[in-house]
Amino acid sequence: MNDRHAMTVSSDHPSDAECADYLEQIVFFIDNELGEADCEALRKHLETCNPCLEKYDLQRTMKAVVARSCAEVAPRELRDRVMLRLQQVRVEITTTEA
């Protein structure tokens, strides 16, 4: 009978809006761009909120993967192709302008 009511009211759990706020901060937290007070609040939230903690882990893992793939030197062939394409674009731009 009271299913709908039970779903919307969860007194001991942070609200979705609160989580959305924290999820925005997670990006800055990972980049170490978050203030000391905000860090503390976020850390406390992650301890109590499993969904947010999972998203934090995911974001951190993704960032590590991206950082690693960027650190690798691009294959020579690929780099040449990109450079060639850049030159073509530049030529296209100059011909359209002229």
Min dist CB 80 to Zn ion, Å, is 47
Name which position in 25, 26, 49, 56 contacts Zn ion (CB under 5 A).
49
| Position 19 contacts Zn ion (CB under 5 A) | yes
Q: How far is the CB of 57 from Zn ion (least distance, A)?
A: 13
Q: Return the range that interacts with Zn ion (CB under 5 A); candidates 2-10, 50-58, 63-71, 75-83.
A: 50-58
- Retrieve residue 72's tokens: 């690798």
Which residues contact Zn ion by CB under 5 A? 19, 49, 52
